[in-house]
Each structure stands twice: as structure tokens, then as C-alpha cells.
A and B are shown apart, each in its own frame.
Chain A
């Protein structure tokens, strides 16, 4: 029987990353969806970069940036006793950055497609921007919100390069499922590799088919 701790660690990482991105990514998507400016364009470009950047490159720079030997990493270690490199926190940070476009882009696009008069109608009723966002805008992009959350979760399940660079392969700490598959194959332990792979395959399939089924009345697929 394969050690299932990498699966649990992966699920924990995906859940924490998705929750964090819901809290921070949604307001960010809302801000980006309202009007255009050069600052917004630059920030959006930075958020989108992980889609095209090799994960190992992102992981490498995160490793450098948060190394306890220098710079920010050293400062965090000395002042707050926080270490991102080779820790679960580091995996969360890397996943957060790496999966951000999967949360922000669909939500931003959905918000932009809502008629501007919806928010305007709410404002004329005396509602603040925050009340409008929570009561009017968010409930009307539910399918996209679900799609974004599932994509973020599923994408985090499959991360390899970036988490390997910043987290390494420490059992129960940073050894997530994708790394466990690679590690098992290297050790010629195909049975364990197959167990991890099959579990990931099933989880991913169930998640994607659930989005299709949930969104069928809106005629949206997870790719929309």
C-alpha cells in the first residue's frame, strides 16, 4: 500500500491556495475589471505570466528571493522566524502566484460581461461598492466563480516544477503527489506511481465533470 500522505498534502495545498485566491483574487479581479490604466495593464501582465513562464523559472526566482541566506528571505527569517524555502508555506506562496491567473482571469472576464447598469442600479439604491459586489455582482457570476475555483484547485493538484524548486521533496512537508509520482518512478516503484497517478486522475475528472454538470444550464464548460 502506497503512502497516501502526498495525496493529503496535495489536497491541503490545493484547498489553502484556492481559499487564499478567493479572498485576494476576487477583489483583484473586480478592480481589474473596472476601467483601464497602465498600472492595471502591468499588474495584469504580471498575474498572467505564470501561464507562459516555465514553472522552474518561477520556482528558481522564488527560491532566490526567499532564501534564508539573503534579502527578503533572510529578513523574514530573522524578524518573524518565517521560512518559505523547503516548507509548506513556501508551497502555498508558489502555488498562490502560479495559480493566480486561473482564478483572476475567468472572474475578471465574467465581471466585465455583466451589464454596467447592474452596478449602477445598485449604486442609485444607496448601496456601496462593497455591498454591490457581494449582493449583485458575485451572485451573478456564480458559474464563472465555480469554474475559476475548480481550475485553481485542479491546477494546484498538478503543479510540479515550481513546488519542487521551492519545496524540494521532504516527506509530509513538501512532498506533494506530483513529486511523489516522479520520485516513485525514479525508484522504479511503478505500483506507487500508479496509485498516486490514478488518484489524481480520478479527482481531476470528478472535479471537471462536476463543473460541466453544475453549469449545464448556463451552457458553460470549464474552458469558457
Chain B
């Protein structure tokens, strides 16, 4: 269970404003997050991961306090270990597909399984520059899953995938999500693409 009640100041096109979110996400649930550009969707995910610090509030994950402004608690991202799929993928240009996963985990069985799920087995020695946009996006997803996170935060993770690949990947991912029992938040610009995968949603305006 993720319990969030935060406030974060944003610099928006229209000037400064405050992102306020108060919400509980049940353990193991998958929630799609949508809303207009600049509404603070990415900021919200990064605040959970510990990559930015909210001005106020609390973030409690599975009973552990990740952030509490009033008591000065703010776990670093290294301790939160939330899987994060970045909108720009944030792949490491110096590492091959396999090295990306090895950097995240030593579990070779898990690495091989992820490569199969992402259909990247034959490309395991390729660096990101030699992958297509869709392959890069799949690698970003696999890397986030490599740490077997209890919280998975995905920022537009399927935007570069064609409909067929997306459908197959979502089926595979659903099995992995169930297995990991992770609480998953997915930011999307196309909420309908996640129909059947998510049961709850959050609109950020």
C-alpha cells in the first residue's frame, strides 16, 4: 500500500502553482495516471522515487515512511528502490542491453527471463544507440523490473511501441506484475491503451 499526501510547488507555463495529491494506492494495484502536459505527472512519480523533494506531506509505502516533512524523514532513492521507467528512457549509452540488466541485478536467471519477455535476447550485446525506439523503451522497462521493485513507476512506458508489440508485451508484463506483487503507477497520454491492465486511475490537472 502506498499512502501519499504531498504538496509540491511547480513552475508551470502559467506561473507558479502547487501540485497537491492525497491518495492511497492498494498493494499490488495498477493505477493509470493521466492529465494535461505540465500538470505534474512526472513530478509526482519522481517525488515518490525520491528524485525530487516535496515541500510538504508524507509518503508511506508498505508501512515504511519514505518521506515525512514534519519529522524530517526523506529516504534517498537508493533506499526506496522504486523501479522507474523514465520518459526519455535514460539508458546508459556506454552499456549493452545485457550490461544494463547486470548493472541492476546479479540474478542471471531473472536477467535471461527479462530478455525473453522484452524480446531482446538476440540484441543482448547491442548498445542503446543501435536499438530502435521501441527496443530502447522495452529495455528501459526491463531495467526497472530487474531490481524486482515493490513499487514500479512508469512514465509513458509504451509510447514508442506499435500496437501489436504493446499488446504482447502487456500480456507478458501483467504476469510479471502479478508475480512481483508490485504496486504500479503508470503515467500515460493515452488512458485507453491501458484498458484491461489497470482498474484504478488518477487524473492530475
Contacts and interface: CB of A to CB of B under 8 A. Distances in A.
Interface of A: 115, 117-118, 120-128, 135-136, 139-140, 142
A124 B93 contact: no
Nearest to B105: A125
B118 interface: no
A135 B99 CA distance: 11
B77 A136 contact: no
Nearest to A124: B84
Contacts of A139: 92, 94
Contact of A136 (B49, B81, B92): B92
13 contacts: A115-B90, A118-B92, A120-B49, A120-B84, A121-B86, A123-B50, A123-B51, A123-B78, A124-B82, A124-B83, A125-B143, A127-B78, A140-B93
B76 interface: yes
B31 to A, nearest CB: 19
Contacts of B103: 122, 125, 127, 135
B51 A120 contact: yes
A120 B86 contact: yes
Contacts, number: 58
B49 A140 contact: no
Interface of B: 46, 49-51, 76-78, 80-84, 86, 88, 90-94, 103-104, 143-144, 146-147
Nearest to A128: B78
B90 A120 contact: yes
A136 B78 contact: no
Nearest to B93: A140
B104 A117 contact: no
Given A117-B88, A118-B90, A136-B94, A123 B76 contact: yes
A123 B77 contact: yes
Given A126-B81, A127-B78, A121 B90 contact: yes
Nearest to B49: A124
A219 to B, nearest CB: 14
B39 to A, nearest CB: 19
Contacts of A120: 46, 49, 51, 77, 84, 86, 90
Contacts of B82: 124
Given A123-B78, A128-B78, 10 more contacts: A115-B88, A120-B49, A120-B86, A121-B92, A121-B143, A124-B49, A125-B146, A135-B103, A136-B94, A139-B92
B3 to A, nearest CB: 20
A120 B83 CA distance: 11
Given A117-B86, A135-B103, A124 B94 contact: no
B94 A125 contact: no
Contacts of B144: 124
A139 B91 CA distance: 13
